[in-house]
Amino acid sequence: MAILSWPIALHFFRMNKKVRQVAVLGLYLSVLFSLYLVPLGMYSPCIKEAGTLGPAPTLIGHRGAPMLAPENTVMSFEKAVEAGGEGLETDVTISYDGVPFLMHDSTLKRTTNVAEVFPNRTHIDASMFTWAELQQLNAGGWFLSRDPFGTVSSLSESDQSQAHNQSVPSLAQFLEVAARTGRLVLFDLRRPPYGHPYSQSYINTTLQVIQAHINSSQVLWLPSEDRDLVQAVDPQLQQTSGEKASIQELTDDHITRLNLHYSTMSQQQIRKYQSVNISTNLYVISQPWLYTLAWCAGAHSVTTNSIHILSSINKPLFLMTPEEYSLMWILTDVVSAFLIIAVFIFHWYDHTHTHTHRHTCFSDN
């Protein structure tokens, strides 16, 4: 607006009609004053009193470390641990013969070579394959050929070779990685389709694998089906909800953590839940600036695709007190107002001086 004041002031003093002058100046000043008042309506959780910033959110690897290895593979989870992740997130379904395994999509097309091994079954639900059939698939080649995050070229030759040889892991293999490294685990559990042998017993089948391979207290139990039954069978599980609800409803369900999309992030709500010891995990946060906002808002943890990037951030990218924020905007407004007034005075003086000079020359002639 300060830059625009130059051509606006120049044309303002050259205009002959008062109506045009009033219209141009009125429009300019209304926009200018609106911008001056914008800071009063702006909000950021990173504008806070000194000493009120909490600890950095812990990092949960979204399907492992999908920028460094094929998602939902043992390599991906090991990379997430190496990069500093304190938790591992995945997706679980049940094979036709009752083996819980890791797969996000309903089919195997995107992340395996099922089109080569079982060309007539590419559209069949992943849970309709037996564990022996799933073990015939390659779960890493697609990552190298499609390069979903544009990161393959940055990987070493040994990492690329390892990525190419990944297979579909069982839930047991995944839990063994978490148990060995002391990491939390968070997973979605997909119910098998109607007619599947385990469509009714998939929860019990999953619980049995958990109890056999990891301390239940390391598991953030997200599935909402039969939550009361699950709580009764294994009270050590950390009951986690994917939906916001009243504090009463959450405490009745023994919820200790919320797993929410970052767009629902509210500093006030996070504080409200924290006051009754319900922590908040936000997903999927992979950009440093968004991680900064989650940190300032008080999120306990975040699910991320970029653990290797966020783990190196030791302070918010931007953080200021309300006083610093006010001072910044007031100084900016004052400086811009001074420049704009100076520009208008200059053009007024130039216009007056030029007009007087022409009038004198005309009189002399």
Judge whether 297 lies within some domain: yes
* End-to-end alpha carbon distance in the chain: 42
**DSSP letter (8 states) at residue 47:** B
Say yes or no: 44 and 92 in one domain: no
Contact 135, 219 (CB under 8 A): no
Say yes or no: 200 and 339 in one domain: no
pLDDT digits (tens, 9 = 90+) for 159-213: 999 999 999 999 999 999 999 999 999 999 999 999 999 999 999 999 999 999 9
Contact 155, 131 (CB under 8 A): no
The model's confidence at residue 3, banded by pLDDT at 50, 70 and 90, is very high
Both tokens assigned to 74: 């043992």
> Quick one: pLDDT at residue 363?
53
Say yes or no: 132 and 273 in one domain: yes
Cα torsion through 75, 81, 85, 86, rounded to 10: 120
Say yes or no: 49 and 62 in one domain: no
Say yes or no: 335 and 231 in one domain: no
Rg of the Cα atoms in the chain: 30
Judge whether 225 lies within some domain: yes
pLDDT digits (tens, 9 = 90+) for 271-330: 999 999 999 999 999 999 999 999 999 999 999 999 999 999 999 999 999 999 999 999
What's the CA gap between 354 and 157, in Å, rounded?
Answer: 74
- Phi, psi dihedrals of residue 187, rounded to the nearest 5°: -150, 150
Judge whether 355 lies within some domain: no
**DSSP letter (8 states) at residue 170:** B
> Quick one: pLDDT at residue 264?
87
Last residue of a domain, one of 262, 293, 311: 311
Say yes or no: 8 and 143 in one domain: no
pLDDT digits (tens, 9 = 90+) for 214-223: 999 999 999 9
Judge whether 201 lies within some domain: yes
What's the CA gap between 280 and 277, in Å, rounded?
Answer: 10
Single-letter amino acid code for the residue at 130: T
Say yes or no: 15 and 104 in one domain: no
> Quick one: pLDDT at residue 364?
53
Number of domains in the chain: 2
Name the nearest CA neighbour of 306 among 293, 282, 280, 287.
287
Judge whether 234 lies within some domain: yes
Contact 50, 316 (CB under 8 A): no
pTM of full prediction above 0.85: yes
Say yes or no: 274 and 339 in one domain: no
What's the CA gap between 68 and 162, in Å, rounded?
Answer: 11
Query: How many residues make up the chain in this entry?
Result: 365
Give the contacts of 174 (CB within 8 A, at least 6 positions apart).
Answer: 74, 77, 88, 90, 102, 185
What's the CA gap between 256 and 276, in Å, rounded?
Answer: 9
Range of the domain at 342: 1-19+40-53+319-350
What's the CA gap between 246 and 122, in Å, rounded?
Answer: 43
Judge whether 29 lies within some domain: no
> Quick one: pLDDT at residue 104?
97
Distances (CA, A) of 115 to 50, 109, 179, 292, 316: 57, 7, 34, 42, 45
pLDDT digits (tens, 9 = 90+) for 111-158: 999 999 999 999 999 999 999 999 999 999 999 999 999 999 999 999
Say yes or no: 149 and 119 in one domain: yes
Judge whether 25 lies within some domain: no
Say yes or no: 244 and 115 in one domain: yes
Say yes or no: 77 and 116 in one domain: yes
> Quick one: pLDDT at residue 43?
85
CATH label of the domain that carries residue 203: 3.20.20.190
Judge whether 27 lies within some domain: no
> Quick one: pLDDT at residue 351?
80
Say yes or no: 327 and 299 in one domain: no
